Structure 1
Amino acid sequence: MSQQQSLRLGVLQMLAAMALSGTIGWFVLQSGQSVWNVVFVRCLLGTLGLGLYAWWRGQWRSWPFTGRSLAWCVAGGVALVANWLLLFNAYHYSSIGIATMVYHTQPFWLLLLGRMVLGEALTTRKLLALAVAFAGMLLIVQPGGGGSASLLGVGLALGAAVLYAVVTLISKQLPKTLLPTHIASVQTFTGVLLLWPLLDNATLWVVGAHWPYLATLGLVHTTLMYIVMYAAFRQLPTHWIGLLGFSYPVVALLVDYLAYGRLLDGWQLLGMVLIIAANLWGLQRQGGAALRPAPARQG
């Protein structure tokens, strides 16, 4: 395969993965299940799907973890599951579109955490981009109103963004020899163990209309999406990954409109533009490192 063909394939794979990610909110809401149940089933089916895929590819022939790397993977799994719980709750309190846009401030929280935890430098460009993104977030939150429930949704999405930044920081502690499927399998299995005691068994383990939505979240939005996305990462340079990642919130906004008739007002649209512009200007030209997704993508 030529370099141009490889790049084209990577672009298509990344767009497909981001399009799937943008529809997650709809499946979460349509399932009608508690977020505990939704995240549990996503983790359970994701573990089975990714684990079997890794086995099929011969990636479990030897145990890939040391005690330290396994501990870091488990810690990342705790943060990832908490991130999903907050984000999926945010969909209920605000909207898919608003929650997704607030959630997309994650790269900037990664910058701040990197500065506080790892002592990484913050350039003038990054600080200005952070200020612009914060202004964009305020525009998204304030003008639309919506009352205390909407603000709670925004707060949950913001917490999810910070937690996903934590997942990304933890991923930096893992050896590069670990395959993404290994990392994601451990993280989702951690979610299974954490959430099992919290399930609403009376509504989950019955035959009902919720199962097609939950099965899709586990098998399509976790197993298939991660496989396609990781394949795209191998084909694309980092700055392309960051650029194409912005199709995720655009799809989420479109889904929110088509499914529920929700539209951002003028000020909120301006806020969205500021967040995207801040990412492209402040982070993309720094090599895009802050835009690279963690081993297990949030969506």
Structure 2
Amino acid sequence: MNVSAMIKLTVSMAIFGSIGFFTINTGIPALELVFVRCICATLFLGLMWYFTGGHKTEAWNKKEVLQTLLCGVFLVLNWVFLFKAFEEMAISITISIYNLAPIFVLILGTLFLKERLTIRGVLAIAICFIGSIFIVGIENFQSIDQFIDSGFVWALLSAICYALTMFTSKTLHSLSPYATTFLQTIVGIVMLLPLCNFSVFQGLTTTNWLYIIGTGVIHTGFVYYLFFDSIRNLPTIVVSVLTFVDPVVAILLDTILLDFSPSIFQSIGILLVFGGIILTIVKPKKEGNPSKV
């Protein structure tokens, strides 16, 4: 096992777990924050790509470039919806819904790649569905408008877009991670530039700017550098397990720093969602295969 890669991935997930806390302290709306994030990521990862010499050996493939650009659209929408959800819901609840993405990947694989949906997969989907109902607390909403305004829809859309990001990037092989992310964040800049309201940047405090720059440089540039530098040197199962560091840190920060206190039903819902996700990513050992000692 590559210990260095494990440490890098764990650190990247732990840092990313604090993104919700940073987001709500930036003082700007989701769309403008994602725009800044795309600029920071483009500059940071573009420079890393250049100085490591990766741009000289890049294997460009027209089909993969187009696929990466489509993936970039989903990635940017994922960020926008996630940050909008943070504006409306507690970080813990948002992150729990957001982490339904692997379940949506499972469903997409069944619908479009004709992958076989096992009983285990169906059970995981059912558990996560029940858990999400417990988390959002349907009984607390008196109307459709109140339900939509709760932020649940934004969190769900972010999970779907994250799943589409993972789904469309599954067959990317020739492009390097640096080139892939560079193209995706360029897409974000082009998409969001016409929609940005730059007046929101007026009157911001020094603290606001520190959180904004931190979200862009630390949570995007530095985290993605650590992530890409480690993920290719670790088995899929290890990567899947270590990604749970992200929601754990997010929920701890939400509880300790922001005094979030989930209800009993919400706590049960969170446990059900993560239980269903674990059921999805941890594959059972095939019968008849002796375990290695």
Normalising by structure 2, report the TM-score.
0.90
Aligned counterpart in structure 1 of residue 103 of structure 2, from 81, 100, 108: 108
Aligned-residue offset at 1:179: 1.0
Q: Give the aligned partner of residue 257 of structure 2.
A: 259
Aligned-residue offset at 1:107: 0.3
AA matched with 2:92: G
Q: Give the aligned partner of residue 44 of structure 2.
A: 49
**Conserved 8 A contact 1:126-1:283:** no
**Conserved 8 A contact 2:58-2:175:** no
**Conserved 8 A contact 2:60-2:174:** no
Give yes or no for the alignment of 1:193 onto 2:202. Answer: no
**1:137-216 alignment, distance < 5 Å:** 137-142=132-137, 145=140, 148=146, 152-174=150-172, 176-204=173-201, 208-209=205-206, 210-216=208-214
Aligned-residue offset at 1:63: 5.1
Aligned-residue offset at 1:208: 3.8
Normalising by structure 1, report the TM-score.
0.88
Q: Give the aligned partner of residue 215 of structure 2.
A: 217
Q: Give the aligned partner of residue 241 of structure 1.
A: 239
Moved over 6 A (4+): none
Q: What per-residue deviation string (whole Å, max 9, x for no partner) do you get for residues 168-198 of structure 1?
A: 1110232x12111110111011101111111
**Conserved 8 A contact 2:13-2:243:** yes
Q: SS of the residue aligned with 1:30? A: coil
Q: What per-residue deviation string (whole Å, max 9, x for no partner) do you get for residues 25-77 of structure 1?
A: 11111001011110000000100000100111101115532222111111111
Percent sequence identity over matched residues? 30
Write the distance in 1 (CA, Å) between the matches of 2:18 and 2:277.
22
Gaps of 5+ in 2: 286-293
**Conserved 8 A contact 1:109-1:162:** yes
Q: Give the aligned partner of residue 22 of structure 2.
A: 27
Give yes or no for the alignment of 1:135 onto 2:133. Answer: no
Aligned counterpart in structure 2 of residue 69 of structure 1, from 52, 64, 67: 64
**Conserved 8 A contact 1:78-1:190:** yes
Q: What per-residue deviation string (whole Å, max 9, x for no partner) do you get for residues 249-280 of structure 1?
A: 11111111223211212221111111222222
In 2 relative to 1, CA 56–205 (structure 1 residues): closer, same or farther, beyond 3 Å? Answer: farther
In 2 relative to 1, CA 48–100 (structure 1 residues): closer, same or farther, beyond 3 Å? Answer: same
Write the distance in 1 (CA, Å) between the matches of 2:141 and 2:250.
19
Give yes or no for the alignment of 1:117 onto 2:112. Answer: yes
Q: SS of the residue aligned with 1:177? A: coil
In 2 relative to 1, CA 192–273 (structure 1 residues): closer, same or farther, beyond 3 Å? Answer: same
Give yes or no for the alignment of 1:284 onto 2:282. Answer: yes
Aligned counterpart in structure 2 of residue 273 of structure 1, from 254, 271, 274: 271
AA matched with 1:155: V
Gaps of 5+ in 1: 288-299
Write the distance in 1 (CA, Å) between the matches of 2:91 and 2:230.
25
**Conserved 8 A contact 2:98-2:158:** yes
Alignment coverage as a number of residue pairs: 281
Write the distance in 1 (CA, Å) between the matches of 2:205 and 2:66.
37
Write the distance in 2 (CA, Å) between the matches of 1:173 and 1:123.
23
Greater displacement, 92-101 / 234-243: 234-243
Aligned-residue offset at 1:205: 6.3
Aligned-residue offset at 1:149: 6.0
Q: Give the aligned partner of residue 95 of structure 1.
A: 90
Taking only aligned residues, the RMSD between alpha carbons, in angstroms, comes to 2.0
AA matched with 2:153: G
Q: SS of the residue aligned with 2:282? A: helix
Write the distance in 1 (CA, Å) between the matches of 2:266 and 2:200.
37
Write the distance in 1 (CA, Å) between the matches of 2:149 and 2:140.
8
Q: SS of the residue aligned with 2:55? A: coil
Give yes or no for the alignment of 1:12 onto 2:7. Answer: yes
Aligned-residue offset at 1:100: 0.4
**Conserved 8 A contact 1:143-1:267:** no
Q: SS of the residue aligned with 1:120? A: coil
Q: SS of the residue aligned with 2:262? A: coil
AA matched with 2:74: A
AA matched with 1:168: M
Larger Rg: 2
**Conserved 8 A contact 1:93-1:149:** no
Aligned-residue offset at 1:142: 1.0
